[in-house]
């Protein structure tokens, strides 16, 4: 039985299932001169490159959205929706 490759690409999406080391983990998240997204050190797909300023903006935006959701109670319904009773729908 042939050994399966531990890293490569499928349909343009990178994968890597080699055992991660501390050095490889740290170097994969900090790659100056690379784009905003870089290959993950373990698993399938891409991750943020923290050496790129665009990644920090994305993290701030996501953090602000999470904070805003927690402040609003995380509920998508308003008080008006809770007071309404059943709705009758008539189809001709």
Distances (CA, A) of 74 to 28, 31, 77, 78: 34, 36, 9, 11
pLDDT tens string 3-14:
888 889 989 999
Question: Is residue 80 scored above 90 in pLDDT?
Answer: no
pTM of the predicted model, to two decimals?
0.64
The residues spanned by each domain of the chain are 7-71
The confidence score (pLDDT) of residue 6 equals 87
Q: Is the confidence at residue 82, as pLDDT, over 80?
A: no
């Amino acid at each position: 039985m042939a050994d399966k490759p531990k890293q490569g690409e499928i349909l343009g999406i990178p994968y890597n299932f080699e055992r991660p080391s501390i050095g490889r983990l740290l170097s994969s998240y900090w790659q100056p001169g690379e784009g905003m997204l870089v290959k993950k050190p373990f698993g399938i797909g891409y991750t943020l490159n923290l050496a790129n300023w665009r990644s920090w903006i994305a993290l701030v935006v996501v953090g602000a959205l999470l904070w805003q959701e927690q402040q609003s109670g995380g509920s998508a319904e308003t008080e008006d929706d809770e007071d309404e009773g059943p709705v009758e729908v008539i189809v001709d």
